[in-house]
Structure 1
Amino acid sequence: MRFLCLHGRGTNSDILEAQLAPLRRRLAQHTLEFFDAQNACAAAPGISGVYPPPYLCWYKHGKPEEVSVALDDLRAVLEEDGPYDGLIGFSEGAALITSLLLCDEHAGHRPRVQLAVLFNSVVPLIADPIAMHHASSPLGELVHEHHNHYLALLQTDGQVNGPLSQARGFSPVGPLRIAVSTVHIIGDQDPFAPSSQLVVGMCRPERVQMLWHDGSHKLPQAGEVLDHCAELIETAIMLSSLDI
């Protein structure tokens, strides 16, 4: 299968490629390609001392119009450089993938890929058309409660007095569910783990593969965990070929 991979906030595609290298060796029969976000931001914790800039994010403050632009950029890559069979995302990249799949499902569009692999997802945000026309529906809600860690990043982007976010997140309340096969990798010590769990609830349970591991908000590097990740991805690939 051919995968397009999306990095997390405050990193870039080269950094994600390096972080995914151990898993990539276990998925050698598949092709992984990488795509950069278009917005500069502060480096993610622990990144600047190890990897050089640029440090990028998919949207600066999570406003619906910013999410709409990010989704348009992703759609353009999928259409111009595709077809791709699957998407792999970490953190904000995983959230953007979730937003794309939910937007397509809401619009009744045929899925663009067969499979999504989501590492440590933060809350997926709603793009302008949905936020404006369904503001009072259970489709989405203002980002709050356990999303506060991420909302703080969106509000400040590393600055003391950054603009307030108008971010709206998808809600698992209601019938909307991602139809394609999904793999969810979540760290036990990740402060964003509740957001990852919410994303699991936005997917069809019979197509979900999930792995909790003893880690934080980082891509797993331990051999046993990586072996399990690869097994789950291969299982999801098999499920993606079934008409469930």
Structure 2
Amino acid sequence: MVVRILCLHGMGVNAAIYASQTATLRLMLPSDYEFDFLPAAEACEPAAGVAAFFPGPYRCWYSTPTTAAIDAAHTFILKHVQRAGPFDGVIGFSQGAALAASILLRQELAGERPPFKFAVLFGAPLPFTHTTQHGIDLRRAFGASATVPTTSTSIPTHLAAGPDGPAAVDAFEPARADAFYQMYHASVDEVRIRVPTVHVIGARDQWRRHSLDLIGLCAKEVAFVLEHDGGHEIPRRGAEDVCDLIETAAAVASAGPVVDTGLVGKL
């Protein structure tokens, strides 16, 4: 049976580059897996080290994660799902992974059927929200005024300092004074992604703590975690182990509710 996967690239690349980044992985998955690489709409600067090897244009899902920008990115992707779907799963890297998680959280909050039966998240930062009603209010962290907080402004200590903290802000354009920046976190949000998720996390990834915290926003019974010794990348070494987890998540999604499997590993 065909398994259709929507592929969401990271910031500063494009659909063709993402196809190259995932080539080894896709070759190891069963032949009945089909992949749809959707290019983001917004132009941006290339990611570090990309321009020397791949031509543009370079794209991103949002240049700054305001609630309005997140809502627009959701709409863009969900319209594509309506046109080109249905899809069984989604595979996202970096910003694309965060956006996939954000869409799934949005559907859970709305009580709607999720657009994907499972999600594979490589190097995922914590997802931003499309609304001021959820998440941590990050306006002050982004340098924007926040006289009346929309929600909690308490950023977990391990995210406020160290290599992960500045990365969450420095990756984006300067803040807008009239904008809202809200980031999901399990410490303030009760919503959980209930479809099976695969989390692939690099030991030297600057977003590692974000990726670990994202697991807390997912149903632990169907969250499969694999850590590798690399950085912010889709690892080629150990691709077979990643594929095993992807196939496991797809099988669990097809079978329905299951008990805790405890599938956690390292490469």
Shorter-chain TM-score above 0.5: yes
Distance in 2 of aligned mates of 1:155 and 1:120: 21
Contact 1:23 1:226 in 2 (8 A): yes
Q: Which residue of 1 aligns with 2:262?
A: none
- Could you tell me which of 156, 181, 196 is aligned with 1:167? 181
More helix by share: 1
- What whole-Å deviation, never above 9, does each CA across 1:82-141 have from its counterpart, x for those lacking one? 001100000000000000000000111111111100000012001136459x96556x97
Tell me, yes or no, if structure 1 residue 38 matches structure 2 residue 28.
no
Residue 29 of structure 1, CA deviation: 2.5
Q: Which residue of 2 aligns with 1:6?
A: 8
Residue 147 of structure 1, CA deviation: 3.7
Q: Which residue of 1 aligns with 2:26?
A: 24
Q: Which residue of 2 aligns with 1:219?
A: 234
Q: Name the SS for the 1:123 alignment partner.
A: coil
Tell me, yes or no, if structure 1 residue 148 matches structure 2 residue 162.
no
With normalisation by structure 2, the TM-score equals 0.82
Distance in 2 of aligned mates of 1:60 and 1:131: 21
* Aligned residue identity for 2:184: F
Distance in 2 of aligned mates of 1:105 and 1:46: 37
Residue 214 of structure 1, CA deviation: 0.9
Q: Name the SS for the 2:101 alignment partner.
A: helix
Change (3 A) 1:7 1:56: same
Q: Name the SS for the 1:241 alignment partner.
A: helix
- What whole-Å deviation, never above 9, does each CA across 1:139-159 have from its counterpart, x for those lacking one? x97796134203111135xxx
- Could you tell me which of 112, 115, 119 is aligned with 1:116? 119
Identity of aligned residues (%): 33
Q: Residues 4-153 of structure 1 correspond to what in structure 2 (within 5 A)?
A: 4-27=6-29, 28-128=31-131, 130=133, 136-137=150-151, 145=160, 146-153=164-171
Structure number with larger C-alpha Rg: 2
* Aligned residue identity for 1:101: L
Change (3 A) 1:126 1:147: farther
Change (3 A) 1:81 1:147: farther
Contact 1:147 1:195 in 2 (8 A): no
* Aligned residue identity for 1:170: Y
Residue 65 of structure 1, CA deviation: 0.3
Q: Which residue of 1 aligns with 2:265?
A: none
Q: Residues 198-217 of structure 1 correspond to what in structure 2 (within 5 A)?
A: 198-217=213-232
* Aligned residue identity for 1:239: V
Change (3 A) 1:65 1:142: farther
Distance in 1 of aligned mates of 2:83 and 2:134: 27
- Could you tell me which of 155, 160, 177 is aligned with 2:192? 177
- What whole-Å deviation, never above 9, does each CA across 1:150-176 have from its counterpart, x for those lacking one? 3111135xxxxx757742110112421
- Could you tell me which of 248, 252, 255 is aligned with 1:239? 252
Residue 238 of structure 1, CA deviation: 1.2
Contact 2:126 2:185 in 1 (8 A): no
Q: Name the SS for the 1:46 alignment partner.
A: coil
Contact 1:142 1:168 in 2 (8 A): no
- What whole-Å deviation, never above 9, does each CA across 1:193-218 have from its counterpart, x for those lacking one? 11111111110011011100011001
Structure 2: state its 5+ residue gaps: 138-148, 258-267
Q: Which residue of 1 aligns with 2:146?
A: none
Taking only aligned residues, the RMSD between alpha carbons, in angstroms, comes to 2.2
Q: Name the SS for the 1:203 alignment partner.
A: coil
